[in-house]
Amino acid sequence: MTHDAQDKTAGRLKSRPQFLAVRNGEKRKGKFFLLEVLDRARAEPEAKEDAPRVGFTVTKKQGNAVERNRMRRRLKEAVRLSARFAMQPGHDYVVVARRDVLTASFASLSAELNGRIANRQRHFPKKPQPSRAQLPETDNSTRPSDAGRPRKV
């Protein structure tokens, strides 16, 4: 494979720390999978020119090993044939499969994957929720009294 051909293909995420880093990125929910995206160019300016990298995750609750491997193969092929062209340089993508990947038509699976990769503006990262310590204290004096209720003995 020449260097020019290698630049146009998506790389692979292989180690656990790479997968865990992508978890901190934005999440794009789909019918057949969850797509997690991390913009490496923000953290590492030199990564802006790097080829996109992709990883696949199928949890054990999705089925036995044969079914999980079939799901992974279908997703890899959808990325290889069409979705890698929509991927942005300097980004990492993790596709977390759902069981519906097995029964979906390949055309709908590819279309869903392309749509989730290209559609960035609709799906934003979750805003951090304030912890209980940061929440304002509530005044319990405004609670209705239990005076009119019968008591259990």
Outline where 82-134 has alpha helix (H): 106-118
pLDDT exceeding 70 applies to what percent of the chain?
A: 69
Mean pLDDT within 74-92: 89
Residue 125 phi/psi, 5-degree rounding, is: -65, 150
Structure tokens belonging to residue 6? 């290698």
**What class does CATH assign to 7-123?**
alpha beta
* Residue 99 CA to its chain's centroid (Å): 15
3-state secondary structure of 37: strand
Bridge partners (DSSP) listed for residue 57: 96
Predicted local distance difference test score (pLDDT) of residue 69: 96
Tell me the per-residue pLDDT of 2-42, one tens digit each, with 9 for 90 and over: 444 444 567 899 999 999 999 999 999 989 999 999 988 77
pTM > 0.75: no
Closest to 26 (Cα-Cα) out of 38, 40, 11: 38
